[in-house]
C-alpha cells in the first residue's frame, strides 16, 4: 500500500519513550549477573610524583573484598598509551589519576576497601596553571581532529595598517566540564575463550571496541561493546575513558564480571573537560566595515599523558571574508587531566572570542552588528576556496532580527534603564561543520511485512533511534510503525561515533542505501557500506549556520544578570524531526547560556585539583535560570550533503550563544566582559 505522507519532517514521538519512562531501557550499570562483583577506585592525592609505598593488606582483609588491582599486579596492556595506559606504572601525572581499584562482592565493601588502601608518594611541585607566557608553550603538529595548527594568507601587518578601525583584545574561557545525566559506567565480562564483553556508556560502540581491543592486544572481533541506551555524553563518552580499562583489568584479576560506575566527583578528573583558552583577536576594517585583517591566536592546555589540541581558531578561518588572515594554536602540557571533546569543541570557545570581537568592531566602525556581518559575507570558503554547499547565515540574521525586534534596539549601550535594571540585546553568528563519515547498515524484511534496520549507532538522548526510523520508513515506503531500528552494539554493522554532529548524516546515509538495495533485490536481507560514497563526495564546504539573539537585564546594585528571552535561527538542511530537533537546539542554547553566566571549574593551583567537582559547586543552568528560548529553522534544499539533505544539529546551538550574551551585557551596561563566565562580582566592580 502506498504511503501518502512522508515520515521525514514529521514530529514523531521518540520510539523508545515507553521503555524509558517505565524503566525497561537498561543503561550500562543496570545490567546484572549472578556472579557480578563491584569495583571502587582509588585516586592519586598528588598532582605530580611517584608512588613509593603501597599498602593493600587492610583492604584485602576486609570481608567481601575479592582483589585489589594496582600497578604492581595489573595485567600488562600491550597496545595502550596515554590516558588508557592505566595502572601500568608508578608515575602520577595528575591529581585524581587512578592508582588502584578494589573489587568486592558488594559496592559498599568495594568502597570501604578503597578507603583502606594507603599510598606514599615522592611528590613534585605541580605545574597546573595555563598562562599566555608559559615557557613551555609549543606548536602541536595538528589540532583536533586533523586540522593544520597554523594558517596564514595575505599580509596581516599590511591589512592592519590599511584599517580605519581596529580591535586587539584578549578573551578567556575557563575549564568547563561535561556533566551528562548518566555517569560513566562499565561492566566487563571475560569469556572462557579470551574474548571480552563490555556494557559501556559510550557514544560509539564500534570505535570503543577498536580502542579497547588495541589496548589489550586483541583482535576487534574478540571485543564486544554493548550500549543500547546512553544517558547523555556531550563528547565525554566519545572515546573510552580510563575506568573502562580498569574494569576490564579488574575482571581479569578477579576472574569474574566487574561493574565499575564512576561517581560524579570522579568524573571531573577522569572523563575529560573543555580546556581553558586564552585567545587574542586582532581585527582591522575599513571605515565602511570591510575586514582588512583577521588574526586569531590561541593558547590552551593539554596533559603530560596525552596531547589534545582543541581547534579553537578553526572557525575563524571560514566565517568572514578578508584578504589577510592568520590563525595559530599554542599548547602547554601541564600536570592536569587530559582535556577532550565537549559539545562543539573548537567552534564553541572560538566563536565566543570571534563574535565578541566582531561586536567590538561594529561599535568601532559605527555600524550595526548585523550589518557588519552581512558586509563581510564570503562568496566562497575563505580557507579552502571551495564553494559552500549552502550558506544561509544572512537569512538567519535577517529572519532573527525581524522576529526578535532588532529594529527597536537602542542605538547606544547603557541607554535603557528601569530603576536598578539595565536592558540590552546582543547578537552572534553560529556555525558548525556538516560532516558525514563512512558507515554500514543492514535492512531485513520480516515474514510479517515489518522491517528491521541495524547499525552500530548510539542514541545518547538525541533521538537517533527515532530519526533513523523515519529515514528508513521513507526509504522503504512504509509507515514508521513497520520499522524497528536496532543500534548500540559493536556486533551490528559498523557505525561512526555519535559526535561531531555527524551521526544522522553518516548512519542515515547507510540506512537509506541498505533499504534501497533491499527493495531493489529479491532477498530478505541487504547490507550497505557508504565508504566509497563518502570518498566520492564533491569538494564543497559544508557547514550549518545560525544566528543567536539574546536579551539581558542587568541589576546595577547586585550585578545579577537575567535572560528573559533568547532566539536561535538555524539553517541546517532538512529537519528530519522538528520535535527532537527543537530539543537539540534548545539544549545547546541552554548550555551556551550556562557557559556565559554560570559554568566554571575552579582549579586550586596548590594541589592541582578542581575545587567545585560536584553539582553543588559546578553551577549548571536549570529551567528557572532563563526565560523564553525560541528556535526557528531556515529550510535548505542542499543536494551536496547526503541522501536526506541534512546537516548536524547537536552542537550548533551552543555555538555563538555565549558571545550573544556577552554582547547583550555590553549593550546593557556599556562595559565589555571578555572572560567567561560573567560573574556578579565582575559586574558590580565594573559598574561601581
Name the residues annotated as catalytic.
651
| Mutual angle of helices 464-476 and 503-520, in 10-degree steps | 30
The Cα–Cα gap between 604 and 607 comes to 6
The Cα–Cα gap between 160 and 183 comes to 49
User: DSSP letters of 489-511?
Assistant: BTTSSP---S-TT-HHHHHHHHH
DSSP 284: E
The Cα–Cα gap between 175 and 676 comes to 10
**3-class secondary structure, 210:** helix
DSSP 623: G
Express the helix, strand and coil content of the chain in percent, nearest 5 each: 30, 25, 45
Cross-strand pairs, 293: 284
Residues 6 or more apart in contact with residue 412 via CB below 8 angstroms: none
User: Longest Cα pair distance anywhere in the chain, in angstroms?
Assistant: 78
Using alpha carbons, select from 235, 247, 263 the residue that is nearest to residue 338.
235
DSSP 302: E
Q: Hey, what's the cell of 462? A: 538525541
Q: Other C-beta atoms within 10 Å of 304: how many?
A: 16
The Cα–Cα gap between 286 and 278 comes to 27
The Cα–Cα gap between 390 and 395 comes to 11
Instruction: Give the H or E element holding residue 127.
Output: none
The Cα–Cα gap between 344 and 349 comes to 8
Q: How, if at all, do strands 196-200 and 223-226 pair?
A: parallel
The Cα–Cα gap between 137 and 300 comes to 9
Let me know: does 571 contact 434? Beta carbons within 8 Å: no
Let me know: does 46 contact 90? Beta carbons within 8 Å: no
End-to-end CA separation in angstroms for the chain? 72
Cross-strand pairs, 129: none
- What phi, psi does 25 have (nearest 5°)? -75, 120
Q: Hey, what's the cell of 236? A: 565525554
The b-or-e profile of 192-227 (16+ CB within 10 A means b, else e) is eeeebbbbbbbbbbbbbbbbbbbbbebeeebbbbbb
**3-class secondary structure, 563:** strand
The Cα–Cα gap between 321 and 64 comes to 66
Instruction: Give the H or E element holding residue 168.
Output: strand 165-173
- What phi, psi does 619 have (nearest 5°)? -85, 110
Residues 6 or more apart in contact with residue 83 via CB below 8 angstroms: 241, 242, 303, 305, 306, 338
Dihedral Cα 7, 12, 18, 21, nearest 10 deg: 150
Amino acid at each position: 500500500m502506498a504511503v501518502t505522507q512522508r515520515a521525514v519532517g514529521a514530529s514523531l514521538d521518540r520510539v523508545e519513550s515507553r521503555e524509558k519512562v517505565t524503566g525497561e531501557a537498561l543503561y550500562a550499570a543496570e545490567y546484572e549477573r549472578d556472579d557480578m562483583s563491584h569495583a571502587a577506585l582509588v585516586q592519586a592525592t598528588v598532582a605530580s610524583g611517584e608512588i613509593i609505598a603501597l599498602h593493600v593488606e587492610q583492604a584485602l582483609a576486609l570481608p567481601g573484598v575479592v582483589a585489589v588491582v594496582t600497578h604492581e599486579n595489573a595485567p600488562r596492556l600491550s597496545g595502550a598509551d596515554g590516558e588508557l595506559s592505566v595502572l601500568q606504572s608508578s608515575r602520577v601525572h595528575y591529581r585524581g589519576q587512578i592508582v588502584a581499584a578494589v573489587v568486592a562482592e558488594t559496592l559498599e565493601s568495594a568502597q570501604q576497601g578503597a578507603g583502606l588502601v594507603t599510598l606514599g608518594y615522592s611528590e613534585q611541585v605541580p605545574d597546573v596553571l595555563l598562562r599566555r607566557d608559559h615557557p613551555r608553550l609549543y606548536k602541536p603538529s595538528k589540532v583536533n581532529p586533523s586540522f593544520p595548527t597554523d594558517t596564514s594568507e595575505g599580509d596581516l601587518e599590511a591589512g592592519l595598517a590599511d584599517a580605519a578601525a581596529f580591535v586587539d583584545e584578549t578573551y578567556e574561557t575557563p575549564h568547563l566540564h561535561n556533566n551528562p545525566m548518566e555517569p560513566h559506567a562499565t561492566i566487563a565480562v571475560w569469556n572462557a575463550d579470551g574474548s571480552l564483553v563490555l556494557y559501556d556508556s559510550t557514544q560509539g560502540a564500534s570505535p570503543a571496541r577498536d580502542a579497547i581491543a588495541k589496548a589489550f592486544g586483541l583482535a576487534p572481533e574478540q571485543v564486544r561493546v554493548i550500549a543500547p541506551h546512553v544517558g547523555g555524553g556531550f563528547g565525554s563518552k566519545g572515546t573510552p575513558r580510563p575506568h573502562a580499562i580498569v574494569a576490564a583489568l579488574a575482571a581479569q584479576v578477579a576472574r569474574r564480571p566487574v561493574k565499575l560506575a564512576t561517581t560524579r566527583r570522579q568524573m571531573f578528573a577522569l572523563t575529560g573537560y573543555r580546556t581553558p583558552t586564552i585567545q587574542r583577536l586582532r581585527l582591522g576594517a575599513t571605515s565602511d566595515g570591510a575586514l582588512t585583517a583577521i588574526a586569531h591566536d590561541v593558547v590552551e592546555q593539554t596533559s603530560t599523558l596525552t596531547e589534545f589540541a582543541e581547534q579553537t581558531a578553526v572557525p575563524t578561518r571560514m566565517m568572514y571574508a578578508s584578504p589577510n588572515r592568520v590563525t595559530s594554536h599554542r599548547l602547554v602540557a601541564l600536570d592536569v587531566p587530559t582535556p577532550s571533546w565537549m559539545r562543539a569543541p573548537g567552534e564553541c570557545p572560538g566563536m565566543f572570542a570571534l563574535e565578541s570581537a566582531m561586536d567590538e568592531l561594529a561599535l568601532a566602525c559605527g555600524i550595526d552588528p548585523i550589518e557588519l556581518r552581512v558586509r563581510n559575507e564570503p562568496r566562497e570558503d575563505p580557507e579552502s576556496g571551495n564553494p559552500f554547499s549552502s550558506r544561509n547565515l544572512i537569512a538567519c540574521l535577517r529572519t532573527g532580527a525581524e522576529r526578535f525586534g532588532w529594529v527597536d534596539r537602542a542605538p547606544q549601550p547603557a541607554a535603557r534603564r528601569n530603576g536598578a535594571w539595565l536592558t540590552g540585546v546582543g547578537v552572534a553568528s553560529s556555525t558548525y561543520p556538516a560532516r558525514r563519515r563512512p558507515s554500514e547498515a543492514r535492512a531485513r524484511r520480516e515474514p510479517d511485512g515489518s522491517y528491521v534496520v541495524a547499525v552500530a549507532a548510539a542514541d545518547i538522548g538525541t533521538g537517533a533511534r527515532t530519526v533513523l526510523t523515519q529515514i528508513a520508513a521513507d526509504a522503504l515506503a512504509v509507515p514508521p510503525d513497520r520499522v524497528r531500528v536496532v543500534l548500540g552494539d559493536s556486533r551490528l554493522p559498523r557505525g561512526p561515533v555519535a559526535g561531531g554532529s555527524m551521526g544522522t548524516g553518516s548512519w542515515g546515509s547507510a540506512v537509506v542505501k541498505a533499504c534501497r538495495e533491499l527493495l531493489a533485490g529479491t532477498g530478505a536481507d541487504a547490507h550497505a557500506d557508504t565508504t566509497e560514497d563518502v570518498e566520492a563526495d564533491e569538494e564543497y564546504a559544508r557547514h550549518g549556520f545560525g544566528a543567536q539573539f539574546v536579551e539581558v537585564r542587568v541589576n546595577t546594585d547586585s550585578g545579577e544578570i537575567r535572560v528573559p528571552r533568547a532566539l536561535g535561527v538555524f539553517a541546517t538542511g532538512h529537519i528530519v524531526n522538528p520535535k527532537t530537533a527543537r530539543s537539540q537546539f534548545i539544549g545547546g542554547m541552554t548550555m551556551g547560556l550556562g557557559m556565559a553566566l554560570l559554568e566554571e571549574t575552579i582549579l586550586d593551583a596548590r594541589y592541582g585539583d578542581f575545587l567545585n567537582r560536584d553539582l553543588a559547586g559546578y553551577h549548571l543552568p536549570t529551567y528557572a535560570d532563563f526565560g523564553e528560548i525560541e528556535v526557528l529553522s531556515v529550510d535548505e534544499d542542499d543536494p551536496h550533503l547526503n541522501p536526506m539533505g541534512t546537516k548536524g544539529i547537536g552542537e550548533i546551538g551552543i555555538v555563538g550563544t555565549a558571545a550573544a550574551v556577552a554582547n547583550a551585557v555590553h549593550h546593557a551596561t556599556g562595559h565589555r566582559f571578555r572572560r567567561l563566565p560573567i560573574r556578579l562580582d565582575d559586574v558590580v566592580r565594573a559598574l561601581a
